[in-house]
Amino acid sequence: MPGPRLAGKLALITGGASGIGLATAQRFAEEGAQVALADVNDAAAKDAAATNPAFFAVHLDVVDEASWEAAIATALARFGRLDVLVNSAGIAPLASVEDETLAQFRRVMAVNVDGVFLGCRAGVRAMKDHGGSIVNMSSVSGLIGGNNIVAYNASKGAVRLLTKSVALHCARRKYGIRCNSVHPTFVETPMFFGSLEKRPAEERARIEAALRAQVPLGRFARPVEIADLIVYLSSDESQFVTGAEHVIDGGMTAGF
């Protein structure tokens, strides 16, 4: 029988205290990895870390360069090296081009784009001597547009091409670092349901039904399903996979 798919690997996951980040950390631990749960919410990260001996919490504000340097240094001091970086932290406020404020647009770009750039740069510097895998969380919204998510669309489209640039740089420098993006549709996470929680129950039910109807498979994704794809991209099974967008959307972008 083959062993765990991530045996001996050492990973840092941003947004690791909840949602896709935490689901990914749980799958990583099941597959033999040790994981730094990097999050700006220290209490949530510590609570999550207490659930598994393979976890430890590290403070990280993804928009802050010094915070990245400190988080990577902490992970390296704990692990001795870094093999996998998953850039999962993100925000997704609803607003159209007419309704969006410049301040909120800049905030979304800071978290979703600057945070991924800083993460990729830090990850490359930490892994270039021995190789590894970087996985960036994008979205179907980085491939197709939505009328009321202008900042999110812009940010996730940027992540898609940022990923390709990082992948090509690492390949040409022969660092042995692969970099890929993941593009889910609606996922059952606190961030997704939080965008609906203030609406009346009947309205929320109508919205959820309408969103579900956009997915050919007829349901939302479960966080563990996204995590399973990230496990593959972080494992040695995907050694020839880099610079690619990996769509996991229940058929949403396949066509009419």
Catalytic machinery residues: 152
- Indicate the Cα dihedral angle 112, 51, 75, 41, nearest 10°: 40
172: left (phi over 0), alpha (psi -120 to 50) or beta: alpha
CA distances from 200 to 96, 186, 196, 243 (A): 21, 20, 9, 42
Q: Give the Cα separation of 194 and 136 in Å (integer).
A: 22
CB of 149 closer than 8 Å to CB of 210: no
- Residue 101 identity (one-letter amino acid): T
- How many residues comprise the chain? 256
Q: How much of the chain is helix, strand and coil, in % rounded to 5?
A: 45, 15, 35
Q: Alpha-carbon distance 166 to 178, whole Å?
A: 8
